Amino acid sequence: MLTQAQNKLLTETDPGTPCGEFMRRYWQPVALSAELQLDTPLPVRVMNENLVLFCDPDGKPGLIERRCPHRGMDLSYGRLEPGGLRCLYHGWLFAKTGQCLEQPNEPAASTFKDRIRHRGYPCTEAGGLVLAYMGPGTPPPLPKIPFLLADASHSSVTKRYHECNFVQANDIDPSHLSYLHLLFDSQLAIGPSNQYMLQDAAPQTLCEETPFGLRAYSVRTLENGESYVRLTNFIMPSMQAFVGAPIFNPRERRPNDDDGYSLHWHVPIDDEHHWKYVIHYSAVGPIDHAYQDAIQSNEVDDQLRPIRTAANRYLQDRQEMKTQTFSGIGRSFQDQDRMAVESQGPIYDRSFEHLGVADRPMIEQRKIMFRGIDDVQAGRDPIIVRDDGTNPFDELVTRSARIGPGLPVEGFWRGTVELVTP
């Protein structure tokens, strides 16, 4: 368990807070590229800051503080003009850097505008996301995560609104797969992993630190003595990558770990809400967008807000729990996970938790985050941002495999262990 002081340190992301300063050393998603419109500013809230996202005449994104520094009007209602974003109240015009360019209600000879520098953050687009750097100094290079380097056609990108703190993400928790996501109806399951989760609900967990964060192994012993091993990666500051939903329609193409992976990127809105950006990445060519859209349909409304919420008790179906799913929350792992983390409350008090052997990946993840917070407080760059001339993602691997009885599992993905043929 954590102390209340440690929990506070880990969960607060306002400007000036230790975790807030740590998170701001990394590029963070602030919107989907699909949300960015050439003719309409978009209000966004990121790490307790109210901002407005808009396009310049060249279609490049800009992100500035939402309240006009003159009289506080909301700039998301402003006019998009060739120079930038103009406030409707008195006509002040702002560039995407935050620099005030015009003050038509001031005398023509006034230099007042030159002294007004509104808060603005560098932005870029990559992998279907609009990303911003909200920290001090020169932005670091974009992280070399494969989906950010590939053409946007290689990724399916969406997001899920969560009414809880971003640290409550459970993606690196291995043992919940044997319960929360369990399917009783074999026709609902895609691939054999559901049966593997049934055979061993108490996986052995192994962890190793990496240049990007943490690699966790969950090892389940199967009925025939083989081991089923699944890798999950924690990527600083708030991402997880793993073998997830099939990249292509499994009825048309057999799922293969080398095809790609799923990645979840948890970004605070404020301390009690966050967006989970859900990325499915294809390493072998354009992704099957029609299939991805189909499996995600009926989960959210046209504002990307979930249909199942705490207000309607996530539409839990007790009859479904008897014959189809363990949770009764439908087939969507996204909905099931969100119910689990939101039900902990807006900010879970970790001084009450009791962690066991199966929780080692979460324990190690928190240690790495605390170390990153300490690095920033001491004036050092945290990992990934730190430039040592290498690519921290060279060994970002998402794999699952069956391994013969008695064989070692650590490093199996390097090809040092002969895998059991499916």
pLDDT in tens, 5-32: 999 999 999 999 999 999 999 999 999 9
**Structure confidence at residue 343 (pLDDT):** 98
pLDDT in tens, 163-220: 999 999 988 999 999 999 998 876 666 667 878 888 999 999 999 999 999 999 999 9
pLDDT in tens, 108-136: 999 998 998 899 999 999 999 999 999 99
Mean pLDDT computed over every residue of the chain: 93
pLDDT in tens, 284-312: 889 988 888 887 778 888 888 999 999 99
Q: What is the mean pLDDT of residues 149-158?
A: 92
**Structure confidence at residue 327 (pLDDT):** 96
Question: Does residue 255 carry a pLDDT above 80?
Answer: no
| SS3 category, 325 | strand
**Structure confidence at residue 187 (pLDDT):** 66
pTM assigned to the model: 0.95
DSSP string computed for 197-231: HHH-SS-EEEEEEETTEEEEEEEEE-TTS-EEEEE
pLDDT in tens, 346-372: 999 999 999 999 999 999 999 999 999
Per residue, the 3-state secondary structure of 348-409, as one string, reads CCHHHCCCCHHHHHHHHHHHHHHHHHHHHHCCCCCCCCCCCCCCCCCCCCCCEEEECCCCCC
Question: Does residue 221 carry a pLDDT above 70?
Answer: yes
**Structure confidence at residue 362 (pLDDT):** 96
Hey, what amino acid is at 123?
C
| Strand 213-221 to 227-235 pairing | antiparallel
Question: Does residue 244 carry a pLDDT above 80?
Answer: no
pLDDT over 90, % of the chain: 77
Rg value, the chain, Cα: 23
| Cα–Cα distance measured from residue 218 to residue 398, given in angstroms and rounded to the nearest whole number | 12
* Helix 360-377, helix 4-11: angle, nearest 10: 70
pLDDT over 70, % of the chain: 98
**Structure confidence at residue 252 (pLDDT):** 80
**Structure confidence at residue 209 (pLDDT):** 97
Closest by Cα among 247, 152, 233 to 395: 233
| Cα–Cα distance measured from residue 322 to residue 318, given in angstroms and rounded to the nearest whole number | 7
Confidence of residue 251 (pLDDT cuts 50, 70, 90): confident
Q: What is the mean pLDDT of residues 255-275?
A: 92
